[in-house]
């Protein structure tokens, strides 16, 4: 059985690879948990902003440019900020979920020698890399625009 399988799959996730992956899972778990905490802070900020909406519009009114917009303007501005925060939160939450799934599934796969869990973990790593790649593309386009405006 063992010989047969090693003929089909020449590469193994051997002890050295398992040790690396287990450690990676530990660090990605830390990153994911910290991200969840940051998201919690963002939600707190959002709630805080709406609870003290009056104070925020007052602060806006004190600024000469923003006060020109009036109450309607501040409401629109607040809604836009809230909308951006909610969208950012949703994207952030999805990325964090994928990273957490990589962490838990990979650790489970190694600890229980579960091939399916390990495959799910690596598939999550792939998704994580793809999402980050898309953001890297957007980031580079943003950087290019910045450069164009400066030159």
Partner 1 sequence: MNDISMPEAKLEVSPKLRSDLQEAATWARIIAILALSSSALSLIVSFKRGMIFFSLLSAAISVFIYLYLLKFSSQAKKGLQNNDQQMLNDGFRNLNTYFKILGVILIIVISICVLAFIFLIVGAMIKF
79 part of the interface to partner 1, by CB under 8 A: no
Q: How many residues bind partner 1 (CB under 8 A)?
A: 46
* CB burial string 36-46: b at 16+ within 10 A, e below: eeebeebeeee
Segment lying near partner 1 (by CB under 8 A), choices 30-38, 42-50, 51-59, 90-98: 30-38
Binder among 7, 9, 62, 65 for partner 1 (CB under 8 A):
9
C-alpha pair distances (Å), 98 with each of 48, 55, 110, 132: 28, 38, 18, 11
110 part of the interface to partner 1, by CB under 8 A: yes
Give 72 or 150: the residue with its C-beta nearer to partner 1. 150
Joined tokens for residue 64: 């000469």
In the complex, minimum distance from the CB of residue 54 to partner 1, in angstroms, rounded to a whole number:
23
Minimal CA–CA distance to 95: which of 25, 26, 36? 36
Minimal CA–CA distance to 22: which of 126, 129, 118, 123? 118
Segment lying near partner 1 (by CB under 8 A), choices 47-55, 72-80, 87-95, 138-146: 138-146
């Amino acid at each position: 059985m063992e010989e047969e399988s090693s003929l089909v799959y020449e590469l193994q996730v051997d002890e050295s690879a398992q040790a690396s992956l287990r450690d990676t899972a530990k660090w990605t778990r830390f990153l994911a948990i910290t991200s969840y905490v940051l998201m919690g802070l963002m939600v707190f900020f959002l709630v805080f902003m709406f609870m003290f909406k009056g104070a925020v519009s007052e602060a806006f009114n004190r600024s000469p440019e923003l006060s020109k917009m009036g109450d309607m303007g501040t409401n629109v501005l607040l809604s836009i900020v809230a909308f951006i925060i909610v969208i950012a939160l949703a994207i952030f939450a999805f990325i964090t979920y994928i990273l957490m799934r990589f962490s838990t599934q990979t650790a489970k796969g190694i600890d229980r020698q579960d091939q399916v869990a390990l495959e799910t973990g690596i598939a999550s790593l792939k998704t994580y890399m793809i999402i980050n790649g898309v953001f890297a593309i957007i980031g580079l386009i943003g950087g290019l625009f910045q450069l164009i405006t400066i030159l």
